[in-house]
């Protein structure tokens, strides 16, 4: 691996490539012009770290993660680290000798351990790829990290469907087993279950408040939490979650799945009441903003104003593919685009049904395509390798390597 690293960093053709997740990371960083020399990460002070801990959404799982991975730390060779969604290390524990070595590397509480700050590493690369990653020795982009091996896994909050942090075990190269990443990933999933239980409890509290209010309204209404999860509903055929505008305030608002609504605040959520004015809103333009690799955003502009919402990686993949294929895609074609398998039409139909119910009026079927009358603009990152970097879909991988400007219009 060291030979492959040296050849690649020197701009020579290597005899082989590293694993795809590592190669993709190297390509992102080389296109940014990041040098493989020692990088000094920015470090937040103690007061900022304390504030970031409170804001991270990870406080309730720190003890669970420490207990789940305690056996790896008690061996005396490894460090456990927990970072937030910006890859700032907020908690770190391990034996003093190994912590001292990490200090010399700059791997300390408050350090920004993202890819762009310190190169390919399990914390940063797991955050970008949104999956568990193990990085061995010379797979690290920066040479000063080659004596180390690390394994990291993202933690996703099911309430927002966003990655809110990463857990990592780091140690000298000889001390970390290849199976380590599976254990770390399992503990990350356990942390997600704990967060899901917390969300269920908050939904029960909202339901207890909202149910009698909805009963008194005497008209179609629903209560949702701040992320759009439905706690109580009467006479409205909706799914478990609706997409709310990014900047929701009391008063009139347009909700794609419901239409024009009156919105009132509730403790921990909103009371949403459809307004039947007999007027269908006109969508004048759709913008798919992919410039932030971690948060794909969909904007819809029309006579209702501007509606903006963070969307899932899968929905971003689908919308990007459709924007690049104005004539549309059949279910088998979209299955090949997403999964590399034309036979997976069932999975495609489930995803498209979910997408079309959540985002009403912009995607048609037979074939799947954007509605002809609506202009669609795609805003891409300046670095093409940062185009939905968490996606493994064949069509997205191809789009990363296609030429074109940072902004394209599909219709």
Return the CATH number at 141.
3.30.450.40
Phi, psi dihedrals of residue 360, rounded to the nearest 5°: -80, 135
Among the listed residues 311, 158, 306, 316, the one whose alpha carbon sits nearest the alpha carbon of residue 229:
158
Q: Does residue 259 sit within a domain?
A: no
For residue 350, what pLDDT is reported?
94
- Whether 139 and 6 map to the same domain: the answer is yes
Nearest to 122 by CA among 105, 94, 103, 141: 141
The pLDDT assigned to 58 comes to 97
In this structure, the number of other CB atoms found within 10 A of the CB of residue 18 comes to 20
Q: How many angstroms separate the CA atoms of 15 and 393, rounded?
A: 26
What would the two tokens of residue 392 be? 């493994």
The pLDDT of residue 136 is 92
* Any domain includes 182: yes
pLDDT for 284 = 85
Residue 343: predicted pLDDT = 94
Between CA 49 and CA 42 the distance in angstroms is: 12
What residues make up the domain containing 26?
Answer: 2-197
> What was the pLDDT predicted at 405?
47
Q: Which of 197, 218, 243 is the last residue of a domain?
A: 197
- The CA distances from residue 199 to 187, 196, 203, 327, 329, in Å, are 19, 5, 6, 41, 37
Contact 400, 384 (CB under 8 A): yes
Residue whose token pair is 């300046």: 382
Q: Is the pLDDT of residue 98 over 60?
A: yes
Distances (CA, A) of 368 to 194, 328, 333: 37, 5, 10
pLDDT greater than 90 at residue 385: no
Query: What is the pLDDT at residue 404?
Result: 52
Q: How many other C-beta atoms can be found within 10 angstroms of the C-beta atom of residue 12? A: 9
In a domain, 53, yes or no: yes
pLDDT digits (tens, 9 = 90+) for 306-351: 788 888 899 999 999 999 998 999 999 999 999 999 999 999 999 9
pLDDT bucket at 303, cuts 50 / 70 / 90:
confident
Indicate if 191 and 294 belong to the same structural domain.
no
pLDDT at 81 over 50: yes
Residue 397 within any structural domain of the chain: yes
Answer whether 29's CB lies under 8 Å from 141's CB. yes
Residues 187 and 287 in one domain: no
Strand partners, 305: 302
Q: What is the pLDDT of residue 174?
A: 78
Q: Residue 279: what pLDDT?
A: 66
pLDDT tier at 15 (50, 70, 90 boundaries)? confident
The answer to whether 249 and 239 are in contact (CB under 8 A) is no
Distances (CA, A) of 58 to 50, 64, 135, 294: 12, 10, 24, 18
Residues 165 and 46 in one domain: yes
Cα-flanking dihedrals φ and ψ of residue 109, to 5°? -60, 130
Radius of gyration over alpha carbons of the chain, in Å?
23
pLDDT band at 411 (very low <50, low <70, confident <90, very high): low
**What pLDDT is attached to residue 408?**
55
Mean pLDDT score across all residues of the chain: 90
Single residue among 197, 226, 258 that ends a domain in this structure: 197
Give how many domains the chain has, as a whole number. 2
| Alpha carbons 271 and 30: distance in angstroms, whole number | 49
Judge contact between 270 and 248, C-beta under 8 A. Answer: yes
Backbone angles phi, psi at 304, to 5 degrees: -90, 0
Express each pLDDT in 16-71 by its tens digit: 888 999 999 999 999 888 888 877 899 999 999 999 999 999 999 999 999 999 88
Tell me, yes or no, whether 246 lies in a domain: no
On the question of pLDDT at 233 being above 70, the answer is yes
Q: How far apart (Å, rounded) are the C-alpha atoms in residues 115 and 325?
A: 32
Which whole-number Å values give the CA distances from 255 to 273, 278, 281, in the listed order? 10, 15, 11
Asked which of 93-97, 127-131, 280-284 is least confident by mean pLDDT, the reply is 280-284
* 403 pLDDT higher than 60: no
């Amino acid at each position: 691996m060291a030979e492959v690293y040296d050849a690649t960093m020197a701009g020579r053709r290597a005899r082989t490539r590293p694993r795809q997740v590592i190669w993709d990371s190297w390509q992102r960083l080389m296109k940014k012009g990041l040098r493989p020399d020692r990088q000094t990460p920015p470090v937040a002070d103690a007061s900022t770290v304390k504030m970031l801990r409170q804001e991270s959404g990870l406080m309730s799982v720190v003890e669970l993660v420490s207990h789940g991975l305690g056996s790896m730390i008690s061996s005396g060779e490894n460090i456990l680290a927990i970072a937030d969604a910006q890859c700032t290390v907020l908690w770190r524990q391990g034996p003093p000798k190994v912590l001292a070595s990490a200090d010399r590397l700059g791997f300390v509480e408050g350090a920004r351990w993202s890819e762009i700050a310190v190169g390919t590493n399990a914390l940063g690369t797991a955050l970008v790829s949104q999956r568990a990653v193990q990085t061995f020795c010379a797979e690290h982009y920066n040479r000063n990290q080659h004596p180390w091996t690390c394994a990291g896994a993202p933690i996703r909050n099911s309430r927002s469907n966003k990655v809110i942090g990463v857990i990592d075990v780091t140690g000298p190269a000889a001390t970390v087993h290849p199976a380590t990443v599976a254990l770390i990933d399992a503990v990350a999933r356990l942390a997600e279950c704990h967060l899901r239980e917390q969300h269920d409890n908050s939904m029960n509290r909202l339901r207890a408040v909202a149910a009698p209010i909805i009963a008194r309204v005497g008209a179609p209404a629903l209560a949702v939490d701040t992320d759009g999860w439905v706690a109580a509903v009467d006479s409205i055929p909706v799914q478990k979650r609706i997409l709310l505008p990014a900047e929701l305030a009391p008063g009139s608002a347009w909700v794609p799945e419901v239409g024009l609504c009156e919105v009132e605040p509730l403790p921990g959520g909103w009371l949403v009441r459809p307004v039947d004015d007999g007027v269908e809103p006109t969508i004048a333009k759709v913008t798919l903003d992919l410039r932030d690799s971690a948060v794909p955003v969909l904007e819809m502009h029309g006579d209702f104003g501007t509606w903006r919402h963070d969307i899932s990686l899968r929905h971003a993949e689908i919308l990007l593919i459709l924007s690049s294929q104005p004539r549309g895609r059949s279910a088998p074609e979209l299955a090949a685009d997403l999964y590399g398998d034309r036979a997976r039409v069932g999975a495609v139909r489930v995803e498209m049904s979910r997408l079309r119910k959540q985002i009403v009026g912009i995607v048609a079927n037979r074939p799947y395509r954007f509605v002809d009358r609506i202009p669609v603009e795609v805003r891409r990152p300046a670095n093409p390798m940062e185009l939905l970097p968490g996606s493994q879909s064949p069509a997205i991988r191809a789009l990363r390597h296609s030429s074109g400007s940072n902004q394209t219009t599909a219709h």
